[in-house]
Structure formats: structure tokens, C-alpha cells
Amino acid sequence: MQYWDEMNDKYGFGDGSAYPAGIEIYRDVYLKTVNKLAENHNSNLRIVPFDRGGLHNFCLWMVVPKECFEKEFLPKQEPGKRWVGVDSMPGDEPVMDKELEAAIEEAMGMDLDFFVNVNPVLSKKFPKFLAGL
């Protein structure tokens, strides 16, 4: 989970100016995996994609109660698709429980980045740029 820490810092990704390609896909893989592991660990908490507005990093995540996740977040998501980030959730963000921490620690030991394929493509503008040098 090479981008996990950046997703937990409002100043991450160069204060929001240096997002790697596919960052929202990475976040989706991380969050879905951690939430499945949180379920396995019997955590009363889950994490959701948090798209922070403003001038800093938008690609974050936030902790929510399991009930809020199931009643407020999941019904708004399309099954089989990337989760759509939220800009807020009702209530205060809870303190992480030990079960969610264990789920995150377990996920950190998995090679989740392997599941994201980023395919760079050379811009069609490059030959013109090169010719102008």
C-alpha cells in the first residue's frame, strides 16, 4: 500500500499537486480490502473514500461507524464499480478501534498495489515538441 500514508494526510501527494496515475483506483483497492478485513476482525468501524474539497489533497479516507457505512455510504455506491468519494458523513469521525488497526496492519502486509494496472501512453504532442527543440 505504497500510497496509504499520503491518503491519510491533507498535505499528501505534494499538497495535492502530484497525484500518481490511477490514484483513485489504488484507494478503492485499499479501502475495499481494509473494510473486508475489518469485517473479518469484527471491527465496529469502516473506512470510506473522502474527497476533501479545497486547496489540498483530495484523495483521502475517513473512519466511520459500521452502521453509518452500511446505511449511509454503501446504498449510494454502484455494485462492482469504484466507490465514489464523499465530502462528509454524519457525526464526528470516531477514533480507530484495535480491530480496524489490525485490519489495516494486515492489509499493509499484502501486495495490494499489484492489483492496479497503470498503462502510460506517450502523448501525441511529443513528436512536435521534440521537433521544436
Q: Note the pLDDT tens digit of each residue in 57-82.
A: 888 899 999 999 999 999 999 998 99
Strands (DSSP E) contained in the chain are 45-51, 59-65
Residue extents of the structural domains in the chain: 6-131
- Residue-wise pLDDT for 9-39, tens only, equals 888 888 877 888 889 999 999 999 999 999 9
Contact indicator for 38, 103 with CB cutoff of 8 Å: yes
pLDDT class of 101 with cuts at 50, 70, 90: very high
Quick one: pLDDT at residue 55? 65
DSSP 17: T
The reply to whether the predicted model has a pTM over 0.75 is yes
C-alpha cell at 123: 502523448
User: Could you give the CA distance from residue 13 to residue 26 in angstroms, rounded to a whole number?
Assistant: 13
Query: What is the pLDDT, as a whole number, of residue 10?
Result: 84
Residue 46 pairs in a beta bridge with 64
